[in-house]
Structure 1
Amino acid sequence: MNKIIKNIYICVVTFISLKICTMRNIAVLFVIFQSLTCLSQSSSSEIINRTSHFIFNSNGMVQIDTVLMQINDRNADTEIIIPYSKGDKISVDIVRLEDQDGNIIRKLKKNEIKDRSFISAVSLYEDDFVKYFDLKHDKFPYRIFYVSWIHYAKSLNIVDIDHARSKTPVHSSTLIVEVPIKDSIRYKYENVESPKTAVQNRFRKYIWKYGYIPPSSADIYRLDKDLKAPSIHIVPLHFKYGEAGSFESWKSFGNWIFRLNKNKDKLPAEECQRIDNLLRNTHSQKQKVEILYRYLQDYTRYINVSIKLGGLQTYPASYVCNNKYGDCKALTNYLQSMLKYAGIPSYYTLIEAGTKISELDVNFPSQAFNHVILTVPLEEDTVFLECTDKNIPFGYIGTFIQGRKALLVDENDSRLIPIPALQPDDVLCSRTIEVKTDIQQIHLSEVQKGHKYEFFNYAAKELGKDRVDNIIRSQIFSGKAELIDYELNSNNRQSPEISLTARFKAENIYKEYGKNIILSPFPMDFKDFETPDQRTTGVQINYPEFYQDTIIYEIPDKEIIKIPEKVFVETDFGKYEISFDLKNHTLVCYKTFLLYPGKYPIERYDEFFRFIQTMKNNELKNIHIEIL
């Protein structure tokens, strides 16, 4: 699964687990300054000086990079990775190791610069590669200097830089872009000064200079705009990439995608016969769509195949029929082709997938997507179908596509559409915990939805039992109780929830002091946020988080006469409630926590933190009751 997106620092494993396929890959020509260094740099390394020079014309584009970076300690990842695609011409002309004063320690030989597939372990076949080399030294700090040169035969985006997720300090960076005067470009930039421009030899030259020191720690749920990170995005107004296209509008770009993938919907005769058999005696359009979606899930598998036009042009439907696999583009096109044969219209839809919602600039058409889904308008509803996951229910809108804009591709009327946002009931995670003090056991029954459903559903279907056992032991009542047994049950793709029942052995569930009993709490598992004095950004909550607990403490032979007071807190950020009830010799604790989605500026972080801490403090409190 090749995952080249606009920030190379995003962890590849995260995207593999989300099953997001390549859209913005090397073949689509993006340029990321961070990709010129390591995949996982930290403050253990820093860019002293970097110049990236792009010369764009009708024959493609040349990129020349001159980089001087400093390695400060042995914790730095010193492997340098330069991505490219099949058909690109690439060379690394100068590589040397220097001391801090610029004295050359050694030069790298040509045979020490190697090639490999970008992520060969998870792709059947791919045309995306990296040049890589490593320069280690035992005296710190030291510096690495190199010059690389790439000629791209085709180009779509010219430059796509965003330092919002970068961890590497950049002291001085220069971006030079040269474009023929006759060619129009569009660009936007943030947290960078306006470019200097000049005209020379029928080219218009743009020069940006900037530096950036990222924060020392990454705030949880951070609001990226508060980082003031430099970003520069440049696209040609018109381009020739397989088909002539334009970034004049989202409509023109989507229409180009349609033309690029036109006539790839032909199905073999035997496949058409299978569809006829599957849909025989079915009259409801929605039922027909679901039957074909289940057929896709059951008889194909997801795998990245990135060839030629790679991230944007799909493989034909017949390819998936014959091979029973495909990437997100191919699987989506295959389902669309089956629906077309059945007389049901549907639309190939581009989306920027990920659990964190990236704001799509509606005023800047560009190749801003990394994934494809299928939109199916029906009389009673519009269904959005994720075609790469074999285990999710029909029409499930997961955390990785919800609540954002997407580009619906239509022949003559491509347009941005909103993908529905998850509502609180869609993500409700509920637990019933029975605490049996007489036999020192805890019986748990819980139903997970939302991101926890996605996690446990993946674990139940894709991971071995030993790994699932470790997850249950480490994530539930860790350090409080010993797991006896458990059962994890999905709903066989009928509904987006998964249930867990488990038994635990627990000692010291409660302590008795005269007429007082102290019961251990079972806190909701929620993240720890930075204190206001440590926080550097606002908060972005991408979807609601909703938890409900019912905890039943059975205390035989004790008559309870006093229970804790109710707590209720409601704010702009969410609400929290805990209350208690008596039923014979049983204390029942009811808890609810709802966190609203939203973006909250740093000026409101103090309020947000107080709300979260109120919840966490009450969750961690021991429960005090009085008995006769």
Structure 2
Amino acid sequence: MRILTFFLLISSVHFSFSQNYSYSAIPEELLKNANAIVRLDEMDISLHAVNKMTYKGKIVTTVLNKKGGRKAFNSLYYDKQKKIKDVEVIVYDKTGREINKYSKRKFMDASAVDGFSLYLDDRVLYHRYIPVEYPYTISFTYEMETSDTGVIPPWYFLSSYGESVSKSRYRISYSSEKLKPIIKEFNLEDFDYEKNESSNFIEYKADNISALKSEILSPSLSKITPRLMSRIKNFHFKGQDASVDNWKEFGTWVNDKLLYGRDQLEPSTVQTVKKLVAEEEDSLEKAKIIYKYVQDNTRYVSVQIGIGGFQPISAIEVDRVKYGDCKGLSNYTKALLKAVGVQSYYAVVEAGRDKVDFEDDFADLTQGNHAILAIPYKGTYYWIDCTSQILPFGYIGRFTDDRKVMIVKPEGGEIVTTTPYLDAENHQKTTSIVRLNKDGGIHADAKIITKGSQYYSHFRLEQEPEDKVLEHYKEYWSYINNLKVEQYQFKNDKDSIVFSENVSIQANNYASPSGKRVLLPINVLNRSGFIPQRYRNRKLPFEIQRGYLDEDETVIEIPDDYEVEAIPESTSIENKFGFYTTEIVINDKKINYRRKLLVKHGEYSKTDYDAYRKFQKEVTRNDNSKIVLIKP
């Protein structure tokens, strides 16, 4: 009887862990809005000691089409502190039959930055599967061991738009109470999940998470979907122990353990930079000179070592080889500034198009993917990105603007906000003279001046070859057929951070004949065509991350024997999203057209979306208005 019971138990356990990866086994509700279905996403983390952690991951995904194919590329970053113990990829066909298996020896192993001797310890193991048909299922399993317990992998129950999840599990085991993790939960209020906790583990489970369809202006997923962040108070990182409860303590540890001693420079370098600033007394002017020196004498290399890399290469090494990643170049610039008596602070930021803040109440190494510098001056901070060879001093553009970051001071860390470029500060002014000929063609001389985040969209033009510049203007004025750029000239005022473009264009058949009449589109050089997509039942809120102000002043000169028969009415629209105004004044044979469009940044509910769409639709309709001319 015992033997039979044992046999039945083993059989039932085997059955409960067997998997059916056939496409037909996927519930219908998980297919809706999905390009891929994550059949299983699990991670087991074991905290054995302050300086020892292992974690095992398994992700099984059924890929329905090319859009869901990002799961076909799987990679693991490793270094001296992080070892890959095991890794495997298995591929199944539509019926769930195994068709390929790739062990560790079939993965590619490469330097994180090939050819750069400073970073030979940072490596990546990767495998890319090239599918022959859809759907297919790919299983990626791995096991890692590391002494860096300062970086505990976070968890995303839903990691991408267009992906549903069948089973999600995140478990952290710990060998003693002092290793018990602190877990911060996000967006779990209306989420159906199970949480289990005992004296030596914490576990989260969730099943059947439907895919979210990306909608225009959708917020970043981290703002709206359930996720977890984990840390331990006492941890080990890159050979250093730490005890951290808050950002002040965290910054002290970074300053004393990760940055200490890495700002040394050769005496010859110190002498060189001191000579450069010898005639300057103002600290900000000295900083500008040093920043230009770094831009002129170093280059940036991207080091893909994953999240949490705080420790930079020493300044003396960067000075020797003249290149570095964001951490190395920021630390190097900080060292040069120190050599000439200018205070600056190393800063860690989550860089990218989306604005992502550091969590004020959760100090850990997983936050931040980029390093910059903060220079205090007369009660404010000037921010510089030391990886860029073209950004003006004190300008960070859309890559690191308006977000909470951690700066490292000798007395500890501090959360501060980088420079915001808000609404009207993101200014573009276009002034132009447009001459209409009798054949309906136009010749226009325009001056475009941009500031704030709009400067970021234009200033790189001066670095581009002619063919790229011409391509830009043909795309920028894509609604003008037969466009020809006759000449252009740029002025980049890096002190004021203003970019000016003087452009002359011509186009045939711009105005449309209609018998004795001519239809002339009034907005020649800044016509909006943005009408947000319509949704019958929008699911998500929307966000305008950066507002802007466009001002346009155009003088249109018409032929002497033409007469104005009809003009559009002046427009004035104002609402919570901004305002839009137009004015047309006729002065003899000149038509004066003025336009202003302000769009405000902000987070808006899904119920506001239709009103915002209507606003942009009205802007587009008015921008396409036409003047009716009578020709002889």
Q: Which residue of 1 aligns with 2:412?
A: 413
SS of equivalent residue, structure 1 residue 556: coil
Alignment partners' CA distance in 2, 1:401 and 1:166: 24
When structure 1 is superposed on structure 2, of 142-151 and 568-577 the one drifting more is 142-151
Q: Which residue of 1 aligns with 2:196?
A: 196
Q: CA deviation at 1:567?
A: 0.4
The CA RMSD measured in Å over matched residues stands at: 3.0
Q: Which residue of 2 aligns with 1:56?
A: 47
When structure 1 is superposed on structure 2, of 256-265 and 300-309 the one drifting more is 300-309
Preserved CA contact (<8 Å) 1:123 1:304: no
Alignment partners' CA distance in 2, 1:60 and 1:423: 45
Unpaired stretches in structure 2, ≥5 consecutive residues: 1-32
Matches within 5 A, 1:78-117: 79-87=72-80, 88-92=82-86, 94-108=88-102, 111-117=105-111
Q: CA deviation at 1:295?
A: 1.7
1:387 aligns with 2:401: no
- Number of equivalent positions: 582
Q: Give the counterpart letter for 1:45 in structure 2.
A: A
Matches within 5 A, 1:489-504: 489-491=490-492, 493-504=494-505
Q: CA deviation at 1:338?
A: 2.2
TM-score normalised by the chain length of structure 2: 0.84
Q: CA deviation at 1:574?
A: 0.8
Q: CA deviation at 1:101?
A: 4.4
Q: Which residue of 1 aligns with 2:508?
A: 507
Q: Give the counterpart letter for 1:361 in structure 2.
A: E
When structure 1 is superposed on structure 2, of 125-134 and 420-429 the one drifting more is 125-134
**Cα deviation 1:195-219 (Å, max 9, x = unaligned):** 21123xxx32423334433323x22
Q: Which residue of 1 aligns with 2:578?
A: 574
Q: CA deviation at 1:313?
A: 0.6
Preserved CA contact (<8 Å) 1:127 1:308: no
Matches within 5 A, 1:65-84: 65-73=57-65, 76-77=68-69, 79-84=72-77
TM-score normalised by the chain length of structure 1: 0.84
SS of equivalent residue, structure 1 residue 611: helix
**Cα deviation 1:258-287 (Å, max 9, x = unaligned):** 111012222211112112211223222222
Alignment partners' CA distance in 1, 2:94 and 2:514: 67
Q: CA deviation at 1:311?
A: 1.8
Preserved CA contact (<8 Å) 1:50 1:66: yes
Q: Which residue of 2 aligns with 1:607?
A: 611
Q: Give the counterpart letter for 2:614 in structure 1.
A: R
Q: Give the counterpart letter for 1:376 in structure 2.
A: I
Preserved CA contact (<8 Å) 1:92 1:146: no
Residues 393, 425 of structure 1: alpha-carbon distance in 2 compared, 3 angstrom cutoff: farther
The one of 289, 293, 317 aligned to 2:315:
317
Q: Which residue of 1 aligns with 2:277?
A: 279
SS of equivalent residue, structure 1 residue 344: coil
Preserved CA contact (<8 Å) 2:424 2:598: no
Residues 107, 305 of structure 1: alpha-carbon distance in 2 compared, 3 angstrom cutoff: closer
Q: Which residue of 2 aligns with 1:555?
A: 558
Q: CA deviation at 1:446?
A: 1.4
Q: Which residue of 2 aligns with 1:543?
A: 546
Residues 305, 576 of structure 1: alpha-carbon distance in 2 compared, 3 angstrom cutoff: same
Preserved CA contact (<8 Å) 2:568 2:626: no
Q: Which residue of 2 aligns with 1:335?
A: 333
1:586 aligns with 2:583: no
Taking CA–CA contacts closer than 8 Å with sequence separation of 6 or more, which of the two structures ends up with the larger relative contact order?
1
Residues 356, 424 of structure 1: alpha-carbon distance in 2 compared, 3 angstrom cutoff: same
Preserved CA contact (<8 Å) 2:422 2:601: no
Preserved CA contact (<8 Å) 2:566 2:629: yes
Q: CA deviation at 1:226?
A: 9.7
The one of 149, 160, 167 aligned to 1:155:
149
Larger of the two Rg values belongs to structure? 2
Q: CA deviation at 1:153?
A: 3.2
Unpaired stretches in structure 1, ≥5 consecutive residues: 1-41
Q: Which residue of 2 aligns with 1:34?
A: none
Q: Give the counterpart letter for 1:171 in structure 2.
A: S
Matches within 5 A, 1:211-230: 211-216=208-213, 218-224=214-220, 228-230=224-226
SS of equivalent residue, structure 1 residue 355: coil
Preserved CA contact (<8 Å) 1:560 1:627: no
Q: CA deviation at 1:364?
A: 2.0
The one of 358, 366, 377 aligned to 2:356:
358
The one of 252, 262, 265 aligned to 2:263:
265
Q: Which residue of 2 aligns with 1:29?
A: none
**Cα deviation 1:500-523 (Å, max 9, x = unaligned):** 233333222224557754212435
Residues 166, 232 of structure 1: alpha-carbon distance in 2 compared, 3 angstrom cutoff: farther
Alignment partners' CA distance in 2, 1:382 and 1:141: 52
Alignment partners' CA distance in 2, 1:146 and 1:366: 27
Preserved CA contact (<8 Å) 1:93 1:146: yes
Q: Which residue of 2 aligns with 1:10?
A: none
**Cα deviation 1:34-64 (Å, max 9, x = unaligned):** xxxxxxxx94432112322111222422222
Alignment partners' CA distance in 2, 1:139 and 1:413: 55
Q: Which residue of 2 aligns with 1:481?
A: 482
When structure 1 is superposed on structure 2, of 54-63 and 141-150 the one drifting more is 141-150
Alignment partners' CA distance in 2, 1:580 and 1:402: 37
Alignment partners' CA distance in 1, 2:607 and 2:244: 37
Residues 75, 530 of structure 1: alpha-carbon distance in 2 compared, 3 angstrom cutoff: closer
